[in-house]
Structure 1
Amino acid sequence: MSRLIIFLIIFLVLDFYTLQSFRVIIKNNIITYVYIFFSLVVLGNFFYQILTFDRSNGIPFKFSLALSLLVLFYVPKIVVAVTLLGEDIFRFIVYINENYIKTANTEGVALQNRRKFISQIALGLAAIPFASILYGVIKGKYNYKVLKYTLHFEDLPETFDGYKLTQISDIHSGSFDNINKVEYAVDLINEQQSDVILFTGDMVNNKAEELIPYKEIFGKLKAKDGLYSVLGNHDYGDYVRWESKEDKHKNLETLKSFQKEMGFDLLLNESRYLEKAGERIALVGVENWGAGGFKTAGDLKKAASAIDKNDFKILMSHDPTHWERKVIEDDYHYHLTLSGHTHGMQFGIEIPGWFKWSPVKWRYKYWAGIYEELGQYINVNRGFGYLAFPGRVGIWPEITVIELKKGSNNA
């Protein structure tokens, strides 16, 4: 409850500054009252949804709507508040200088009035995140991007030179609201004509039934060497209240059967070999292993027990924290790890090949794209779907295509 009070105070401060900007520019009491009323409705509805949140139903639409409205209207207010706070600091410095530093001035001066053009600049700047978030909610969540990488390995088996894999992650089928867009994305995946398709967890938000409207669509995924998957933290149903442990277990078993029906070979701390012309690479899949309260069912040793240490290895592990804390230093040397989980926070700024930033970087060291450590690679997929906030701003839904090449990158 104390956290909610702190957040409420922060939101009210944002409203205080934005209201000042409105009143300086718009000399109309009716518009001002409408603004106050609408702000209170958005804020009040959000806190009401939090206080009445029912975990037994996962994340309901009304909560997602309340969150999207809060983000849409209060992120721009941060821009306004920061701009006007900067002006306040300037006004205060001028006031101190005129009244306490300039000794020639004995009469003193009043604090300067807020300048209209600063308020205009503040609202103009705020329009940028407002438009971006609005686009992210309406269009951005289905703005699928195919990201292609070529990775070189000296010890890649010869016959796998040029081998292509497609990775998707974090489908979160319970969040979708446009089945046609999902069909388009599945067609886009198939257009890549990769040798294998690998899904790295979070097929649903919480319940297997979320997948029912999309089973036939994802069942159309095709790859010559098959489809493989692992579980993510949301797939276990840990974030809802079940009537019994049996119901929770049944939900997970149903999800497993659905994945099998769609053609996925679900790896539960297991391995498979992908074979080609007498050579092979090992595909290893662990259950979710996460830190900071996330499920740690992954068992790397068990998953790799049936493969050889000298095999070329691809590891599927939902949470990139696993790679950071367990995989990199493992003596089996996992050439390529595929993860997801972070979604890139569904919010950030990215110029492909040049710059990427998201607040999620403060939580995860490896949060989007390709990273290399100790001669091993990880790709952190930005996610296929979305969760809680029904949109994506700057960090778009991702389909990853990775081509494996034998030899040095300098060759």
Structure 2
Amino acid sequence: MRRLAGSWIFLLVLLVIDIYVFQALKAVADTWTPRTKLIVFGLYWGVSVLSIALMLGITFTNYESWHRLLRTYAFAIVIGLFLAKLLASMFFLIDDVRRVVQWVGSLFVPSWNPKNTAEGTGITRSMFLSWAGLAVGGGLFTSLLYGFGNKYKYNLQKIALTFAHLPEAFKGFKIIHVSDIHSGSFTDKEAVMKGIEKINAQKADVVLFTGDLVNYHADEMKDYMDVFSKLEAKHGVYATLGNHDYGFPTGATKEEVKQKQLANAAGVVEVHRKLGWKTLSNEHVELERNGEKIAILGVDNTSGKMNFPSFGRLPDTHAAAKDIPFKILMSHDPSHWNHEITPNFKDIALTLSGHTHGMQFGVELPGFRWSPVKYVYKQWAGLYEEAQQKLYVNRGFGFIGYPGRVGILPEITLIELT
């Protein structure tokens, strides 16, 4: 019921923004020919009606039964248009607030008549802000369309990490770290296979996958079992569970929801097994090289933020590996690092996480990185260090929600221990 009410509210907001943006479009089209207006206005409302129709379909039909390609792009189009129009509306709102202030000012100072012309442009401020809003909103939507072509452009990120207490035998040890596969979003098997081939070409000693194999259900993997079963490494492939691996079930009680989450997770663990991967569910494995050992720990999803499922038991997992000095932890959600790991488990040298995807949207330049997700997660992409501990947040192999990447490419991380 709450989901239905939320959908109606979103539809209402969508319609209001559509009308609001259209007023600005009419203003800038004032000097256009009738034919041009007819074409542009027709396209505008055609796309808007399509967006609303898709939202109605998502709300009132079995969305998960839609063809994967349609399901992947329908939601992205609705949200992309909404964000673009919302951003454009901010400019129009500035103009409306300015005009209200002028009107109120004229009530008290009748002679007050501030110039309404942008300096040196010869156009009114209203027209300038309307054009600016449409340009910025259109630019955002265009960039999102461009990003559709980046979702399978796997970026190999190589990084060497130095640890003072790393056993000598493990210097030069190579780890492939991948996260957030989200197989339910894939629509191009050949493109995904190229990503797997890129991983295998690195000839890593071990592959570590930090969760979110699926979007909602384990059966999303059925068409990609033959692809991911080809992952290989000398010491094997190890995996943990992410929040999506538990699904998003509903129930009358918290206990009922919990049992459904655990059942979903069990299905994902079974998929791991069939792929030849070992799931580290609050447990560890010891890797040996020339008589020396390191421990790979894996915990079930544990979050220090929001209401994500938290089934991790790090104290128990850590205690079982207490005799191995050098420890690497796989934990899906990077908020776990400052929530529990750095305060209480200072001998965990390296934590590997994912979850954020870098929001699949941002800017990464030498010396400057930005993504909207930084306002939610302190550690959202790449390497972080505190004292002697390190955290690496993988930007995600797959995608969800938005079937694309803008500025934040899908990532395969190659870590060399030194």
What residue number does 1:173 align with?
Answer: 183
Call closer, same or farther: CA 1:79–1:288 in 2, change over 3 Å: closer
Equivalent residues of 2:170, 2:289 under 8 A apart: yes
1:322 equivalent in structure 2: 336
Structure 1 contact 68–389 (Cα < 8 Å) conserved? yes
Q: Secondary structure at the match of 1:325?
A: helix
Partner of 1:86: 94
Residue identity (%): 39
Shift of 1:218: 1.3
Counterpart in the other structure of 1:151: 161
**What is the letter of the counterpart of residue 16 of structure 1?**
I
1:194 to 184, 204, 208: 204
Q: Which residue of 130, 133, 151 maps to 1:122?
A: 133
Q: Give the Cα separation in 2 of the matches to 1:254 and 1:122.
A: 47
Counterpart in the other structure of 1:409: none
Shift, 1:396, TM fit: 1.7
Shift of 1:11: 3.0
Range with bigger deviation, 290-299 or 20-29: 20-29
What is the match of residue 372 of structure 2? 359
Quote the Cα distance in structure 2 between the aligned partners of 1:355 and 1:256. 38
**Residue of structure 1 in register with 2:74 after alignment:** 66
CA deviations on 1:270-305 (whole Å, 9 max, x unpaired) are: 111111111111111111112432222111122223
* Cα distance change, pair 56–30 in 1 and its aligned pair in 2 (3 A): closer
Question: What is the identity, as a one-letter code, of the residue corresponding to 2:357?
Answer: H
Deviation digits for residues 121-177 of structure 1, max 9, x if unmatched? Answer: 33333332122100122x121121111222211111112122221100111111100
Q: How does 1:3-402 map to 2 (within 5 A)?
A: 3-4=6-7, 7-8=10-11, 10-26=13-29, 27=32, 28=34, 29-31=37-39, 32-46=41-55, 48-52=56-60, 54=62, 62-92=70-100, 100-101=108-109, 103=111, 115-137=126-148, 139-239=149-249, 252-290=265-303, 291-308=305-322, 311-331=325-345, 333-351=347-365, 353-402=366-415
Deviation at 1:395, TM superposition (A): 2.1
1:310 Cα deviation from its structure 2 partner: 5.6
Structure 2 CA distance for aligned equivalents of residues 135 and 402 of structure 1: 30
Give, in angstroms, the shift of residue 44 of structure 1. 4.2
Give the direction of change, closer, same or farther, for the CA distance of 1:7–1:369 in structure 2 (3 Å limit).
same
Deviation of 1:332 after TM superposition, in Å, equals 5.1
Residues of 1 paired with 2:96 and 2:381: CA distance?
Answer: 38
Cα 1:42–1:180 shift into 2, 3 Å: same
**Which whole-Å CA distance do the structure 1 matches of 2:329 and 2:401 have between them?**
28
Distance 1:239 1:58, change over 3 A: farther
Return the offset for 1:233: 1.9
Deviations, residues 208-260 of structure 1 (Å, cap 9, x unaligned): 2221221121122121222111111222344478x999997766444323322
How many residue pairs end up in the alignment?
Answer: 398
SS at match of 2:321: coil
Aligned-residue Cα RMSD (Å) equals 3.2
Q: AA paired with 2:355? A: H
Counterpart residue identity of residue 392, structure 1: R
Counterparts of 2:257 and 2:310 in 1: how far apart (Å)? Answer: 22
Unaligned runs of 5+ in 1: 406-411
For 1:19 and 1:210, the matched residues in 2 are separated by: 40
Give the SS at the match of 2:320.
Answer: coil
Could you tell me the TM-score, scaled by structure 1's length?
Answer: 0.85
Q: How far apart, in 1, do the equivalents of 2:92 and 2:127 lie?
A: 11
| Alpha-carbon distance between aligned partners in 1 of 2:352 and 2:294, rounded to the nearest angstrom | 15
Contact kept, 8 Å, 2:68 with 2:187, in 1: the verdict is: no
Amino acid at match of 2:347: H
15-24 vs 178-187, which deviates more?
15-24
Q: CA deviation at 1:186?
A: 0.5
> Counterpart amino acid of 1:302?
D
Matching residue's letter, 1:323 = W
Deviations 1:325-364 (A, max 9, x none): 111112452100011112222222322x422222222322
Deviation at 1:9, TM superposition (A): 5.0
Q: Secondary structure at the match of 1:16?
A: helix
CA distance, structure 1, for counterparts of residue 126 and residue 307 of structure 2: 48
User: Matched residue of 1:328: which SS?
Assistant: helix
Structure 2 segments unaligned to the other structure (5+ residues) = 118-123
Distance 1:63 1:182, change over 3 A: closer
